[in-house]
Amino acid sequence: MCTPVLRHLIPPVTLGELRLKNRVIMAPLTRSRAGEGDVPTPMIAEYYWQRAGAGLIITEASQISPQGKGYPRTPGIFSSQQINGWKTVTDAVHSRDGKIFLQLWHVGRLSHPDVQPHGGLPVAPSAIAAEGEIFTSEGLKPLVTPQALTEEGILSTIDDFRKAAENAREAGFDGVEIHAANGYIIDQFLRDGSNQRTDEWGGSAENRIRFLKEVVEAVVPVFGAGRTGVRISPVFDGFSMRDSNPAETFRAAAEMLRGFGLAYLHVMQLGSETCSFDFGALKEQFGGPYIANGGYNGDSAAQAIAAGQADAVSFGTLFIANPDLVSRFASDAPLNDVDKTTFYQGEEKGYTDYPVLSGVPLGGQGEWHWMGLTGQSDKKLKDDAGE
């Protein structure tokens, strides 16, 4: 029997230069398992290897520089050790004919002196603190007022995105996704609630999208437009994020991005104005491949694709608990329950030990280590996943 999922979610799709084996995308998910020096470990390689049945894996957000870091044990892409660690990951995913993009990340004001170089203040477009607390190695601490970036600092940060993309290419990734969502630095520039600059980087929507535009201009030459994606979140309202006219702001952003011929636009569709925001218009304004994200299951994702609302759909929490999610969708099999207590802790527990349909964990001390890959290289998760 050909179910809607088999007809619409499982068939291949072309995004930019990539022909994907299905339309089930693994959303970026912070898991806080990086090793010393924020280096990806063999355990992280195993985790992504297990999930290589996805049409495309988009990795957890990875800081482009020491200044871009916001949370403990998140991986980076700015040191040679980190590049080597990621090589193990890309080798593992490619061994299962998978495709994998690295998500490039700078958290901006959503950081703390505890994780900043020399205990300095985080940076942002404007010296405006987000409300709330942030998790540090010493527990939750109040978010601090960031320092506003100078013109020199803005240009240096843009160049950090370029260098991070070059490092991702060296690490063997198939492409990169620019993280312009979820209240992090590019999103902070986009929205007038967090960007109150009076120079050419603030004020009008055209000025506020300039930072994103110049980041894309810096990154695209590294992989090519057909291997570069962008993620946005027009209605995301966490971390005090708001905009006086999100329709205008994100129309301007989508139309600007349209001119690059990117591989895709990845849109987190959850937030306070989900019902009133016209995501169909946003898709048309962008004009290229569109990945939808936000609380989908197999049936609702298939319906969205069938209705022309998306070309592919990304899943977050479902991929945590179901390394073989594509197979489960295809066979209409029940899904594993997710252990929320291990979202950010637990090492292998709640990370690489979820069972597959046979009831035996995929990888682990058997098949994964036989492959010989481990020695080749010396409230937030829901925000990231959109669920």
What does the pLDDT read at residue 6? Answer: 82
Q: Among 147-156, 225-234, 356-365, which is the least confidently predicted range?
A: 356-365
Q: pLDDT band at residue 383, thresholds of 50, 70 and 90?
A: low
| Residue 156 lies inside a defined structural domain of this protein | yes
Confidence grade of residue 358 (pLDDT, cut at 50, 70, 90): confident
Determine the Cα–Cα distance for residues 123 and 112; give it in Å rounded to an integer.
10
Judge whether 252 and 206 are in contact, CB under 8 Å: yes
Q: What is the pLDDT of residue 386?
A: 55
Q: Is pLDDT above 50 for 275?
A: yes
| Averaged pLDDT score across all residues of the chain | 93
Q: Domain containing 227 — which CATH number?
A: 3.20.20.70
Tell me what the mean pLDDT of segment 99-106 comes to. Answer: 98
The reported pLDDT for the residue numbered 361 is: 63
Domain contains 216: yes
Tokens at 34, concatenated: 């990086």
344 belongs to the catalytic site: no
Let me know if residue 385 belongs to a domain: no
The Cα 326–Cα 51 span in angstroms is 9
Total of domains in the chain: 1
Residue 202 counted as domain residue: yes
pLDDT of residue 5: 83
CB 178 within 8 A of CB 231: yes
Would residue 381 count as lying in a domain? no
Prediction pTM value: 0.94
Choice among 184, 264, 290, 351 that is catalytic: 184
Q: In the chain, what is the straight-line distance between the N-terminal and C-terminal CA atoms, in Å?
A: 30
Model pLDDT for residues 16-58, shown as the tens digit of each residue: 999 999 999 999 999 999 999 999 999 999 999 999 999 999 9
Q: Domain range holding 158?
A: 6-331
Q: For residue 374, is pLDDT > 50?
A: no
Q: Could you give the 3-state DSSP secondary structure of residue 315? A: strand
Beta-carbon-side half-sphere exposure of residue 165 (alpha carbons within 13 Å): 25
Residue 128 lies in a domain: yes
Q: Is residue 13 within 8 Å of residue 263, measured between CB atoms?
A: no
Helix (H, G, I), strand (E, B) or coil at 76: strand
Q: pLDDT-based confidence at 382, cuts 50/70/90?
A: very low
Does any domain span residue 371? no
Q: Looking at the domain assignment, is residue 282 inside a domain?
A: yes
Residue 205 has pLDDT above 90, yes or no: yes
Helix (H, G, I), strand (E, B) or coil at 326: helix
Q: Which DSSP letter does residue 194 get?
A: T
